[in-house]
Chain A
Amino acid sequence: MKSKVLILLLTIPFFVYAQNKLSKQHQTQALNCKTCHSCDIPTKENPCIKPCPRERLITIEQTPEDAPAVLTIDKLKKQSDIYAPVVFTHRLHSEMAEIGGGCGMCHHYNPPGNVVACSECHDEERKRIDLSKPDLKGAYHQQCINCHRGWSRKVECESCHAQNDSVKKATKTTEKGTEKKRVHPKVKPPEIVKYDTPKTKGKVVTFNHVDHVNTFSVSCNKCHSNESCNKCHAKYKQVSISSRSANEKHTSCSNCHNVKVNCSYCHKNTVAAPFNHKTRTGFDLDKNHSKLACVRCHVEKGKFTGLKTDCSTCHGTWTKENFKHSVTGLLLDEVHADFECKDCHQENNYSNITCKNCHEDITYPKDKPGKMIKNRQTLAK
């Protein structure tokens, strides 16, 4: 009896530890238990996982390098005597998936924590009780074929499988070693994309890719989601653009731009120059503003016009008390630090500096009212 109690006491910490380890993974995800579990207290023995798809999809992000390079999918080996297991270039595929939707393109409804294999959820046995999701064979094939047939328009097995009892076995070179070396070359984004539209006036639409990514910080998946290989590798040219409706043609732009008004904003007769804040709006995004996200100044969603160029529009009224002059790179000396702003900056224009109010023979920037510093402190707000 004593020994049983002892064993029990010894095992309790283990269970507590196991629970904590699990909940640690869950904690980082800020999840509601009910998203995945149907019962109140899920245990390891009875996790009562809801069938997919759950109301909120959970997925994980990993880099392609974190995952295995090549996998041999032989879970169904005992079922099939016609085809050999597939050697799957996992790294290559995850690199390709990065632009479309990441790991979640295949590992859908992945629980928090580690990326799980297909066989965790999909039954190996085709004759089964739970019919809500395909069995493992179905899951594998649906996942592969839906992209591959869009790409090649073929569904023949030999594109992935070697045949077990045929001469073709020798010709198929799906050796693990050679497959390991295959990587997808880094995708080089285009600088601009020029569209020739059927419009007679304003034929050319220039999409400045660099600006959208760098200047406007539009994330890749905002436009590129669930794209298949033939987006770039147009083996069979996509549906010609003219067969799509006007609405469909504009969807990639209309998510952010109002395409219903002012066609000439995008439709021009020649290739448009890259976006330049100074020439377009008159306000120079100098070193102080070039790194800001657009919404920091253009607060109202989707409205980018009508903002005044005065500093006070965004910054409020500066006084000598609330403005740390060192952020400009010039630390004022003791004498000048006591002055009001307007003593040197006239009419609220802070780029216009005059010394004439006190000095007759001194001009800025030849002479400076303090010392220049390198480590500029950034404004708190």
Chain B
Amino acid sequence: MAKQSRRDFFKTTALIGSATVGLANSAKASQKNALSEDRAGVLVDTSVCIGCRKCEWACKTVNNLPTDPLEVYQDRGVFKKHRRPNDKALTVVNEYPNTTSEKFPINVKVQCMHCDKPTCLSACIVGAFSKNENGSVVWDTHKCIGCRYCMVACPFQIPAFEYEEALKPDIKKCDFCFERTAKGKIPGCVEICPVEAITYGRREDLLEAAKEKIKNYPNRYVNRIFGEHEVGGTSWLYLSNRQFEELAFPKLGKDPAPGVSEAIQHGIFAYFVPPVALYALLGGVMWLNKNKKHTDAENES
């Protein structure tokens, strides 16, 4: 299944005949053991981050993306603009002014949050995304048809598309260093961080550590861990000394985003009710029109 090419996929879909049923099943199947208790996470403490951008460099290096030499990353001029991860940089650090102590601006690292209930996975019509047991949400180039639904669906606007690649464009996003962690290593960004503003570990342990920090330093942190409940929980968790909305975090509810769309999909579209109803309606209109034409023609003659 994993080595399935695009052509194979179309073949299988055609063979199965009922496209909707087949896709719904394959999409569901790709979320294997999604919520293992030992799944990994990363805790980002924005009050510790110094904005050195070493993580940006390390990310590019471990992902074999072209990068400037390390010294170039000392340029803090890039903070003038708020950036978003793209196909050339899977993680970026942004800066926000600190109103109480201007010497210590607040830096926030942005990358894929690796949701427990990923919307990208739910939105992907070909099942190119999968949520792994270790918490990572990864994307399979062999299945992707380039529809970019994942980009629209993601509540954090993370997946990026290689627009400059004419022939084989990929969707690019952080894969939680899937290959490194499989070998027992830690993600590249976590490894290089000089101040350990990003801590890698079991998600459960990280939540406990974060709660302990909030308890010990109530004046330093707002009493909230971003990602604990947002869109059903994310693998990456954030601590902050500011309200998260001030740091351009999206306002999100506790319900996983796929919950809404999938409820509609699986509710209304169950048993082909909408297409059958639509065709019945159109058929009815046609039949009525046909009858009308008939009577008109009879009247004229």
Contact = CB atoms under 8 A, between A and B. Distances in A.
B194 A150 contact: no
A321 B275 CA distance: 116
Contacts of B74: 155-156
Nearest to A238: B103
Given A127-B200, A142-B48, A142-B195, A236 B216 contact: no
Contacts of A129: 205
B245 interface: no
Contacts of A82: 70
B206 interface: yes
A127 to B, nearest CB: 5
B104 A155 contact: no
Given A131-B199, A142-B48, A145-B50, A157 B194 contact: yes
Contact of B103 (A51, A135, A141, A153): A153
B212 interface: yes
A139 B43 CA distance: 16
Contacts of B70: 82
Contacts of A153: 103
B44 to A, nearest CB: 13
A149 B194 contact: no
Contact of A150 (B51, B104, B200): B104
A236 B50 contact: no
Interface in A343-377: none
Given A145-B194, A145-B195, A149-B50, A126 B104 contact: no
Interface in B167-206: 184-186, 190-191, 193-197, 199-201, 205-206
B195 A138 contact: yes
Contacts of A137: 194, 196
Interface in A53-84: 53, 82
Given A131-B199, A150-B103, A236-B103, A138 B193 contact: yes
Contacts of B196: 126, 134-135, 137-139, 141-142
A149 B103 contact: yes
A46 interface: no
B216 A53 contact: yes
A129 B199 CA distance: 11
Interface extent on A, as a size class? Answer: 20 to 34
A329 B21 CA distance: 110
A239 interface: yes
Contacts of B190: 126
B52 interface: yes
Contacts of B216: 53
A132 interface: yes
Contacts of A139: 196
Contact of B102 (A145, A149, A239): A239
Given A153-B103, A156-B74, A127 B50 contact: no
B209 interface: yes
A249 B188 CA distance: 45
Interface of A is mostly: loop
Nearest to B73: A156
Nearest to A140: B194
Contacts of A51: 212
Interface string B199-242: 11100011011001000100000000000000000000000000
B121 to A, nearest CB: 27
A118 to B, nearest CB: 13
Contacts, number: 62
A219 to B, nearest CB: 25
A176 B95 CA distance: 37
B197 to A, nearest CB: 8
Nearest to B69: A166
A138 B194 contact: yes
A232 B48 CA distance: 25
A127 B206 CA distance: 12
Contacts of B205: 129, 131
A141 B194 contact: yes
B60 to A, nearest CB: 15
Nearest to A148: B50
Interface in A123-176: 126-129, 131-132, 134-135, 137-139, 141-142, 145, 149-150, 153, 155-157
B80 to A, nearest CB: 16
B186 A132 contact: no
A81 to B, nearest CB: 12
Interface string B105-131: 000000000000000000000000000
Nearest to B186: A127
B209 A131 contact: yes
Interface string B70-85: 1000100000000000
Contact of B212 (A132, A141, A150, A239): A132
Given A127-B186, A134-B196, A142-B195, A155 B50 contact: yes
B299 to A, nearest CB: 85
Contacts of B193: 138
Interface string A26-64: 000000000000000000000000010100000000000
A201 to B, nearest CB: 31
Interface of B: 43, 48, 50-52, 70, 74, 102-104, 184-186, 190-191, 193-197, 199-201, 205-206, 208-209, 212, 216
22 contacts: A53-B216, A126-B200, A129-B205, A131-B199, A131-B205, A131-B206, A132-B209, A132-B212, A134-B195, A134-B199, A137-B194, A138-B194, A138-B195, A138-B196, A138-B197, A141-B194, A141-B195, A141-B196, A149-B104, A155-B74, A156-B52, A157-B194
Interface of A: 51, 53, 82, 126-129, 131-132, 134-135, 137-139, 141-142, 145, 149-150, 153, 155-157, 236, 239
Given A142-B195, A145-B195, A157-B194, 14 more contacts: A126-B200, A131-B201, A131-B208, A134-B195, A135-B196, A137-B194, A138-B197, A142-B48, A149-B104, A150-B104, A153-B103, A155-B51, A155-B52, A236-B103
Counting from the closest, the 6 A-B pairs by CB-CB distance are A138-B196, A141-B194, A131-B209, A134-B196, A141-B195, A155-B50
